[in-house]
């Protein structure tokens, strides 16, 4: 007696594997997007904590001024000295007079990473972009006058995602 699978049995197994794969693939993609958003949230949370720490130091040491890297309201004027729209820069590490993160976030122009888009030192504003993929990104603005992040240039689901990241 020959112990092998028939063609019908093999086709049936292939169909079942195909159905399972079609169910699992979208779930996997959602997991990847969720992980990317969690990474962005983690970085924003770390930067926010560092900003609040520096603001607390400013309150305790009331003799600090603009030359020390603070705004008149006591927040860091800028978050880094990185060049705009350039890969390989370290973001959110502060500057020589006011360090923030011990290890900055390395910028890149690919997917799943941050880069610095613009800076207005007169108004203490800096814009950063986190790029999920070629079509999906968030843009946040750091305001040194109040030490807060705001979502800018986002719409629809991206705006909701941005707001959940900087909450």
Instruction: Give the per-residue pLDDT at 16.
Output: 93
Instruction: Give the per-residue pLDDT at 128.
Output: 93
Domain assignment present for residue 23? The answer is: yes
Instruction: Give the per-residue pLDDT at 89.
Output: 92
How many domains, in total, are found in the chain? Answer: 1
Instruction: Give the per-residue pLDDT at 156.
Output: 63
Which residues, given as ranges, of the chain have pLDDT below 70?
1, 63-67, 154-157
Instruction: Give the per-residue pLDDT at 132.
Output: 83
3-state secondary structure string, the chain? CCCCCCHHHHHHHHHHHHHHHHHHHHHHHHHHHHHHHHHHHHHHHHHHHHHHHHHHHHHHCCCCCHHHCECCCCCECCCECCCCCCCCCEECCECCCCECCCCCEECCCCCCEEEEEEEECCCCEEEEEEECCCCCEEEEEEECCCCEEEEECCCHHHHHHHHHHHC
What is the span of the domain harbouring residue 138?
11-166
Instruction: Give the per-residue pLDDT at 52.
Output: 94
Domain assignment present for residue 3? The answer is: no
Domain assignment present for residue 22? The answer is: yes
Instruction: Give the per-residue pLDDT at 63.
Output: 63
- pTM, rounded to two decimals: 0.77
Domain assignment present for residue 6? The answer is: no
Domain assignment present for residue 1? The answer is: no
Domain assignment present for residue 5? The answer is: no
């Amino acid at each position: 007696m020959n112990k092998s699978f028939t063609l019908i049995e093999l086709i049936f197994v292939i169909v079942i594997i195909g159905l399972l794969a079609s169910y699992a693939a979208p779930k996997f993609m959602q997991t990847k997007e969720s992980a990317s958003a969690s990474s962005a949230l983690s970085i924003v949370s770390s930067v926010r904590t560092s900003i609040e720490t520096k603001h607390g130091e400013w309150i305790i040491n009331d003799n600090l001024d603009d030359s020390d890297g603070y705004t008149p309201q006591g927040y860091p004027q800028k978050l880094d000295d990185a060049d705009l729209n350039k890969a390989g820069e370290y973001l959110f590490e502060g500057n020589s007079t006011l360090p923030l993160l011990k290890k900055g976030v390395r910028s890149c122009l690919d997917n799943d990473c941050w880069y610095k888009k613009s800076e207005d030192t007169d108004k203490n504003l800096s814009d950063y972009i986190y790029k999920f993929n070629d079509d999906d990104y968030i843009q946040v603005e750091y305001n040194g006058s109040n030490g807060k992040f705001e979502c800018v240039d986002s719409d629809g689901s991206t705006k909701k995602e941005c707001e959940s990241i900087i909450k």
